[in-house]
Structure 1
Amino acid sequence: MRNDYTTDISTIKIDEDSFVDIYNLYWEKVFSVCYANLGDEEPAKGMVQEIFKSLWERKDQLEITQSVERYLLRSAKLKVFEYIRNKKIREQHHESIAARQVQAVNYTENEVMLSSLSDRLRSLIETLPGQCRKVFRMSREDGLSNKEIASALFISERAVEYHITKAVTSLKSRLTEYSF
């Protein structure tokens, strides 16, 4: 004879037979709650199994103050909420990983472009006339002022300005021809 599982479970000793009865009576309702909230059959089935597995594993420690049905349906709702929360956390984690990968790809791409541009710029500087190249390097690479360059090369500051302007104009026009 089957027990009435709509009463307080604390009066019911869950053994293998009563567990089978409870499972057969309520698994469809538990599944319905899970499926209705998720719309996905596989996770809903897994949740049903987890709920009944937990019921069996904790049968000796459980103190349920409501009917078995209410306990199981509440467990199903909590399991669904937990699944949705964890799914959102996983999605955020995946989005974060994807964003970092895009940044890494962009960083790598930028490094390659910078290296290529630097190589191109070095080769263009090498094509500048001798004095113009020397003045440009002293200004841009060594960080010297026009006055210091003029003093070091024994030329006027006006000549230094002329060479820098000539170098920058030449490099700009030749770099704009260079496509990425």
Structure 2
Amino acid sequence: MSTLSSASSPTRITEDSFKEIYQLYWRKVYTVCYHSIGDPELVKEMVQDIFKSLWERKNELEITQSVEKYLVRSAKLKVFEHFRNEKIHEQHLQHLGSRQVQAQNYTEHEVLAQSLSERLASLIERLPSQCQRVFRMSREQGLTNKEIASHLLISERAVEHHISKALFSLKTNLPEYAL
């Protein structure tokens, strides 16, 4: 004779009824989970968690529907929880991955900028002294052609010539960068 009460009155779980419930419904719970998950090992863990929770809550739990419906609902909720946690985990990994890529890109850009800066400084050092002086005053100090001409006591046309010469030299020696 069954130790389970009918669906109309609440079911209290005892050790004997738990064993009976497990024997009657573990396959059904497994099938519900397996149909959605497809991984036998993961599904076994889920079934174990469902029945473990049922046993741990046996004193406060009152099942007012059929035990089978309760367990099927628990299995569906467990599957939903699995997919929700999997989605959260995936989003977390994507976020971490994008932060890592950003950090790598930042580092890569810093290295490239430093390398370009060193190459540029080296190329500027190789310019003739007057050309170098005019170019630095223009690009590094931000002086106008008129101010440079006044400082160096040369014509504005000569300043333009030196800047053009410097830019041509840099463009020729740094073809991968547009100046």
- TM-score (ref. length: structure 2): 0.92
Provide the residue aligned with 1:71 in structure 2: 70
| Residue identity matched to 2:95 | S
Provide the residue aligned with 1:62 in structure 2: 61
- Return the alpha-carbon distance in structure 1 between the equivalents of residues 79 and 9 of structure 2: 23
- Return the alpha-carbon distance in structure 2 between the equivalents of residues 172 and 85 of structure 1: 55
Residue 29 of structure 1, CA deviation: 0.6
* CA offset digits 1:28-63 (Å, max 9, x no partner): 110110010111112211111111111111111112
Residue 115 of structure 1, CA deviation: 0.8
The question of 1:115 aligning with 2:123 is answered no
- Return the alpha-carbon distance in structure 2 between the equivalents of residues 70 and 21 of structure 1: 15
| Residue identity matched to 2:160 | E
* CA offset digits 1:145-171 (Å, max 9, x no partner): 111111111111111111000000011
Structure 1: gaps spanning 5 or more residues: none
Provide the residue aligned with 2:84 in structure 1: 85
Structure 2: gaps spanning 5 or more residues: none
Provide the residue aligned with 2:100 in structure 1: 101
Identical residues among aligned pairs (%): 65
SS of corresponding position for 1:176: coil
1:143-162 paired onto structure 2 within 5 Å: 143-162=142-161
Asked if 1 retains the 8 angstrom alpha-carbon contact of 2:12 and 2:61, the reply is no
| Residue identity matched to 2:80 | F
Asked if 1 retains the 8 angstrom alpha-carbon contact of 2:7 and 2:64, the reply is no
Provide the residue aligned with 2:34 in structure 1: 35
Paired residues, number: 177
RMSD between aligned residues: 1.7
Structure 1 pair 4–15 and aligned structure 2 pair: CA distance change class (3 A): closer
Residue 6 of structure 1, CA deviation: 5.8
Asked if 2 retains the 8 angstrom alpha-carbon contact of 1:150 and 1:157, the reply is yes
| Residue identity matched to 1:14 | I
| Residue identity matched to 1:141 | E
Provide the residue aligned with 1:24 in structure 2: 23
The question of 1:53 aligning with 2:46 is answered no
* CA offset digits 1:72-102 (Å, max 9, x no partner): 0000001101111111111121112112212
- TM-score (ref. length: structure 1): 0.92
List structure 1 segments (4+ residues) > 3 angstroms apart after TM superposition.
none
Residue 13 of structure 1, CA deviation: 2.7
- Return the alpha-carbon distance in structure 2 between the equivalents of residues 31 and 177 of structure 1: 62
